[in-house]
């Protein structure tokens, strides 16, 4: 039946499906405002969605809101990677599920794409201030159950992870989405578990990046690549994200710019800015020097 519908109506149905999958609920007014349709047209779309997937949603009369049911199965195929990118940019149109435009642009391969339902449950927890019970497989301790309170999903350039409070260690940590399985929404977050209590997430540090003084023969090229002014690029970044950025850009973090190789085109001029920042083992050359703490 979906194949016989007009493209515009399929897009509206995909939007309903997207909101139920990732947000767990949707107001009728959300659809009306998003697509600028009338009340009667919006009602017809919800009635049609219920006809196509009656087990997917239930209406709460008091809240005047449709909620995802425990038997929910997406009506459309939502691509995990494209959905993550859209969620990161606050786009929730579900358009990729019905045939998005494809441009001839290639990107370097990334690691395994997270399971769409793991992503959906994580997003629901973030949007609704909920905690998650998960099974997590780590490099240090193997597989085991954890309770986490997620507040942000992050693309570190190679893979997606979720920033969350870990009730096991009572600290904020990064959990790789592809290592998470068996996700279940549990209670609400408690005091000290929200993003406002994540000091490294809230703290911004300034990184001063310059062309590498030893590896770059023509620094002007690097200045143009990074839109530097007077040979300097200053970036404000969350302390929790600093290590990822430095690794992704292959920034030499040694005190005297001693890393050799054509991949090191940038040098961190103000290394002391990393004081009291964790997760720096992945910053090129940082752990080979005396700590800047």
Per-residue pLDDT tens over the stretch 202-212: 999 999 999 99
Asked whether residue 99 carries a pLDDT value surpassing 70, the answer given is no
pLDDT for 104 equals 45
pLDDT higher than threshold 50 for residue 236:
yes
Percent of the chain with pLDDT over 70: 89
> At residue 290, does pLDDT exceed 80?
no
Q: Which of 148, 166, 199 is the last residue of a domain?
A: 199
CATH code, domain carrying 29: 1.10.10.10
- Phi, psi torsion values for 38, nearest 5 degrees: -75, 170
**Which runs of E-coded beta strand occur in 125-170?**
130-138, 142-155, 160-166
Among 167, 199, 231, residue at a domain's last position:
199
Q: Measured between alpha carbons, how far is 30 from 215 in angstroms, rounded to an integer?
A: 53
Among 71, 98, 125, residue at a domain's last position = 98
Are 218 and 172 members of one domain? no
Q: Look at 288 and 287; give whichever has higher pLDDT.
A: 287
Q: Is 45 helix (H, G, I), strand (E, B) or coil?
A: helix
Locate tokens 């700590």: which residue? 291
In a domain, 276, yes or no: yes
Query: Do 228 and 261 meet the contact criterion of CB atoms below 8 Å apart?
Result: no
Q: 174 and 124 in one domain?
A: yes
H or E stretch including 40? helix 39-52
Does residue 238 sit in the same domain as residue 151?
no
- pLDDT attached to residue 102: 42
Half-sphere exposure in the Cβ direction for 28 (13 Å, CA)? 18
Q: Tell whether 149 and 224 lie within a shared domain.
A: no
Distance CA 131, CA 167 (A): 10
In a domain, 156, yes or no: yes
224 and 184 in one domain? Answer: no
Q: Which two tokens stand for residue 188?
A: 């609400």
Q: Residues of 21-54 as b/e, b for ≥16 C-beta within 10 angstroms?
A: bbbbbbebebbbebbebeeeebeebbebbbeebe
Do 194 and 210 belong to one domain? no
Dist CA 216 CA 225 (whole Å): 13
107 Cα distance to chain centroid: 18
- The whole-chain average pLDDT of the chain stands at 88
Q: Residue 206 — φ and ψ, nearest 5°?
A: -100, 125
**11 and 94 fall within a common domain:** yes
| 142 and 223 within one domain | no
Residue 93 structure tokens: 């149109």
Q: Is residue 293 part of a domain?
A: no
Residue 20 lies in a domain: yes
pLDDT, tens digit, 9 for 90 and up, residues 257-277: 999 999 999 999 999 899 888
Is residue 67 in a domain?
yes
Q: Does residue 223 lie in a domain region?
A: yes
Share of the chain above pLDDT 90, in %: 68
Cα–Cα distance measured from residue 1 to residue 15, given in angstroms and rounded to the nearest whole number: 17
Asked whether the predicted pLDDT for residue 144 surpasses 60, the reply is yes
In a shared domain, residues 212 and 190: no
Q: Tell me if 47 is assigned to some domain.
A: yes
Number of structural domains in the chain: 3
Q: Assess whether 192 and 215 both reside in one domain.
A: no
| Same domain (yes/no): 210, 194 | no
Strand partners, 192: none
Domain extent, residue 212, equals 203-288
In a domain, 207, yes or no: yes
| pLDDT number for residue 281 | 87
231 and 248 both lie in a single domain: yes
Question: Does position 53 have pLDDT exceeding 50, yes or no?
Answer: yes
Question: Is residue 250 very low, low, confident or very high in pLDDT (cuts 50, 70, 90)?
Answer: very high
pLDDT, position 92: 59
């Amino acid at each position: 039946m979906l194949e016989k519908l007009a493209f515009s109506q399929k897009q509206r149905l995909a939007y309903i499906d997207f909101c139920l999958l990732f947000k767990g609920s949707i107001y009728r007014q959300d659809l009306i405002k998003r697509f600028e349709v009338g009340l009667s047209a919006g009602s017809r779309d919800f009635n049609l969605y219920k006809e196509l997937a009656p087990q997917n949603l239930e209406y709460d009369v008091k809240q005047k809101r449709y909620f995802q049911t425990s038997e929910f199965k997406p009506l459309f195929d939502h691509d995990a990677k494209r959905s993550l990118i859209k969620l990161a940019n606050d786009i929730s149109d579900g358009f990729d599920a019905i045939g998005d435009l494809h441009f001839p642009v290639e990107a370097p391969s990334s690691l395994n794409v997270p399971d769409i339902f793991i992503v959906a449950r994580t997003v629901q927890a973030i949007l609704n201030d909920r905690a998650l019970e998960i099974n997590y497989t780590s490099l240090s301790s193997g597989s085991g159950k954890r309770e986490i309170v997620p507040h942000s999903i992050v693309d570190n350039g190679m893979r997606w992870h979720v920033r969350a409070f870990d009730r096991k260690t009572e600290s904020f940590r990064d959990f790789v989405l592809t290592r998470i399985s068996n996700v279940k929404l549990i209670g609400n977050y408690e005091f000290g578990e929200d993003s406002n209590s994540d000091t490294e997430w809230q703290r911004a540090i300034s990184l001063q990046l310059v062309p590498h003084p030893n590896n770059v023969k023509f620094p002007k090229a690097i200045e143009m690549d990074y839109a530097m002014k007077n040979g300097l690029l200053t970036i404000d970044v969350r302390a929790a994200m600093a290590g990822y950025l430095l690794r992704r850009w292959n920034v030499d973090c040694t005190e005297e710019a001693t890393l050799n190789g054509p991949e090191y085109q940038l040098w961190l001029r103000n290394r002391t800015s990393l004081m009291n920042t964790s997760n720096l083992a992945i910053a090129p050359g940082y752990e080979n020097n005396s700590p800047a703490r």
